[in-house]
Structure 1
Amino acid sequence: MAVFTPVTLTELSAWLQQFSLGRAHSIKGISSGIENSNFFITTDSGEFVLTIFENLSFEQLPFYLHLMDHLAQRGILVPAPVPNKAGHLVTALHGKPASIVSKLVGESQLSPVPVHCAEVGTMLAKMHLAGQDYAIKQENLRGLSWWVETAPKVMGFLNDDQQRLLSTELAQQQDFAASPTYQALPRGPVHADLFRNNVMFNGTKLTGFFDFYFAGWDTFIFDIAVTINDWCIDLNTGELDAARADALIKAYQQVRPFTHEEQAAYPIMLRAAALRFWLSRLFDFYQPREAHMLTPHDPTHFERILRKRCAQ
């Protein structure tokens, strides 16, 4: 979350008239994240999150918003999109697509222990099952095709060793994606960005997943690997924490057991998940967009994780 497109309270008040939320009382930009413009807003009806989408189009957005609605109707703890009076979930603000969703209660758990990871594993498995009958299909826009397209854009900023790592890993991921094991992996709508700051807790009780705007159709084991690479590591070293990883995986498998192919794919998917975020952070760091509130993430964090996963 970031702010690329500023919005004043006066502008919000005028735009909000199309919703049944009453008067606008306050708006505050959210500085974390790097993809969209996000704000906490308060109205007569309560607290919400306003998002202005900087990259996703009007045509792409129904996948994400209707997915959240689909999951919420099936008991998954996610923000509920708020329709305007005409029933639309996406409308234009400053000429860009925008939406309002409910604000989750709780706070992010940035220093998780196994009990938190188990909660995440359980809800992630429930989310994967709940999404299997979702009717709209849209590929993960930050999947393998994006990696292949983006690698040349950052390669010139890397030293020889980093270039070898990126080229070698990308080639291996392409080979694996063509394999029968990969083709047999269960797939469906995935979150694809389930980091610690995208989950809310009240103590040890999980109260919701949010920020679904990197979601897409992909393998479930990739979604698990993305989650493991953030929730179950030492942030300073990138080393896996066995107790946390075991808690998350065991809790997940109590709801949806891994297939044989998923068990085989798990190690290379940990690498794939690290590669995806190394590439995106390299791109954001070396090819930044202008924003009123934006601090790009350090790409060396996921380079370190990728090297650790390769070594393991």
Structure 2
Amino acid sequence: MAVFTEVSFEEAQALLRQLNLGELRELRGIEGGIENTNYFATTDQGEHVLTLFERLSAEQLPFYLHLMKHLAQRGIPVPDPAADRDGDILHRLKGKPAAVVNRLRGRSVLAPGPEHCAAVGTTLARMHLAARDFNRSQPNLRGLAWWNETVPVVLVHLSDSQRTLILAELAFQNHVAASSAYAALPRGPVHADLFRDNVMFDDGQLSGFFDFYFAGVDAWLFDIAVCLNDWCIELETGAHDAVRAHSLLAAYTAVRPLAAAERQLLPALLRAGALRFWISRLWDFHLPREAAMLQPHDPGHFERVLRQRIRQPVTA
């Protein structure tokens, strides 16, 4: 999250009144992240998050917002978009698409233990199953097609060894995506960005998943791989943490057992998850946009994770 577009107290107040969310008491920009403008908005009725969308179009956004609404209505702990008197959950502010959701309780756990990973696994499986009857479809916009488009753009910023690695891995992932095993993977709406800082815990209990603005229809295994690549590694080295990974996978499979194709392709999808975030971090780091609060992430982190996943494949 970040602030690219400055919103005044009065502008935010007008939108919150339109949504019948009360009188604004405090408006505070949120640091971190790189995609949208975000503010915490506290009213006399509660706490909310105001988002202005900087890259996503008004045509793309209904998928994300209605997915959150769908999941919230089925008991999955996610932000619930606020509707106006006409029932619309996509709004406009400062000439940009905007949304307001309830602020989740608790805080992110940045040094998770096995118990946190188990909670993530359980809720992720419940989320996948709850989204099976979601009636909208949109591809993962940061999936393979985007990797193929973006790698040539970032190559100029890489060393010889990095270029060799990224091109070889991209070729491998194109090969995997063309396989019959990949075609057999169960799929549906996925979060696709479920890092430690996109999950809340309150008094030791998982209280919510948030930031669904990379969601799309993709293999559920890709969602699992993204989680394993963040929740179940040593951040300094990218090395796999077997205890935490076992907790996450055991909890997930207790709700939704993995198909044979998923067990077969877990090592490849772990590499895919690492490649996806290496590419996007390279793009954001070397081709940044101006923002009032912007802290691009270190691209080298997911390069290390990818190298670890290649050297030491992990099986389910």
Q: 1:239 maps to what in 2?
A: 239
Q: 1:265 maps to what in 2?
A: 265
- Superposed CA deviations along residues 274-296 of structure 1, whole A, max 9, x for unmatched, are 00000000000000011110010
What is the CA distance between 1:44 and its match in structure 2?
A: 2.3
AA aligned opposite 1:132: R
Alignment of 1:61-72 (within 5 A): 61-72=61-72
Q: Aligned residues: percent identity? A: 60
Runs of 4+ aligned structure 1 residues displaced above 4 Å come to none
- Superposed CA deviations along residues 60-118 of structure 1, whole A, max 9, x for unmatched, are 11101110111111111101110112211111111100000011001101110001100
AA aligned opposite 1:240: H
Helix, strand or coil for the counterpart of 2:26?
strand
Structure 1: how far apart are the matches of 2:204 and 2:21? 32
- Superposed CA deviations along residues 135-183 of structure 1, whole A, max 9, x for unmatched, are 0000000000000000011000001100000000000000100000000
AA aligned opposite 2:52: I
What is the CA distance between 1:10 and its match in structure 2?
A: 1.7
Q: 1:42 maps to what in 2?
A: 42
AA aligned opposite 2:157: F
- Cα distance change on mapping 1:73 and 1:261 into 2, 3 Å: same
Alignment of 1:261-300 (within 5 A): 261-300=261-300
What is the CA distance between 1:186 and its match in structure 2?
A: 0.3
Structure 2: how far apart are the matches of 1:28 and 1:116? 29
AA aligned opposite 2:274: A
Structure 2: how far apart are the matches of 1:214 and 1:104? 19
Structure 1: how far apart are the matches of 2:10 and 2:67? 31
Structure 1: how far apart are the matches of 2:79 and 2:115? 23
Q: 1:78 maps to what in 2?
A: 78
- Superposed CA deviations along residues 245-273 of structure 1, whole A, max 9, x for unmatched, are 00000000000000000000000000000
Helix, strand or coil for the counterpart of 2:51?
strand
Q: 1:108 maps to what in 2?
A: 108
Give the TM-score normalised by structure 2. 0.98
**What runs of 5+ residues in structure 1 fail to find an aligned partner?**
none
AA aligned opposite 1:58: A
**What runs of 5+ residues in structure 2 fail to find an aligned partner?**
none
What is the CA distance between 1:6 and its match in structure 2?
A: 1.0
What is the CA distance between 1:206 and its match in structure 2?
A: 0.5
Please identify, of 175-184 and 3-12, the stretch whose mean Cα deviation from structure 2 is larger. 3-12
Alignment of 1:187-206 (within 5 A): 187-206=187-206
Helix, strand or coil for the counterpart of 2:208?
strand
Q: 1:186 maps to what in 2?
A: 186
Give the TM-score normalised by structure 1. 0.99
Q: 1:20 maps to what in 2?
A: 20
Helix, strand or coil for the counterpart of 1:49?
strand
What is the CA distance between 1:229 and its match in structure 2?
A: 0.4
What is the CA distance between 1:16 and its match in structure 2?
A: 2.8
Structure 2: how far apart are the matches of 1:231 and 1:2? 23
- Superposed CA deviations along residues 7-40 of structure 1, whole A, max 9, x for unmatched, are 1112212333321112211110000111100110
Alignment of 1:157-236 (within 5 A): 157-236=157-236
- The count of residues paired between Structure 1 and Structure 2 equals 312
Structure 1: how far apart are the matches of 2:114 and 2:135? 34
Structure 2: how far apart are the matches of 1:131 and 1:264? 24
Q: 2:11 maps to what in 1?
A: 11
Structure 2: how far apart are the matches of 1:301 and 1:159? 15
Asked if structure 2 preserves the Cα contact closer than 8 Å seen for 1:115 and 1:204, the reply is no
Helix, strand or coil for the counterpart of 1:133?
coil
Helix, strand or coil for the counterpart of 2:77?
coil
Q: 2:147 maps to what in 1?
A: 147
AA aligned opposite 1:197: D
AA aligned opposite 1:234: E
Structure 1: how far apart are the matches of 2:91 and 2:73? 23
Structure 1: how far apart are the matches of 2:186 and 2:162? 32
Structure 2: how far apart are the matches of 1:310 and 1:42? 46
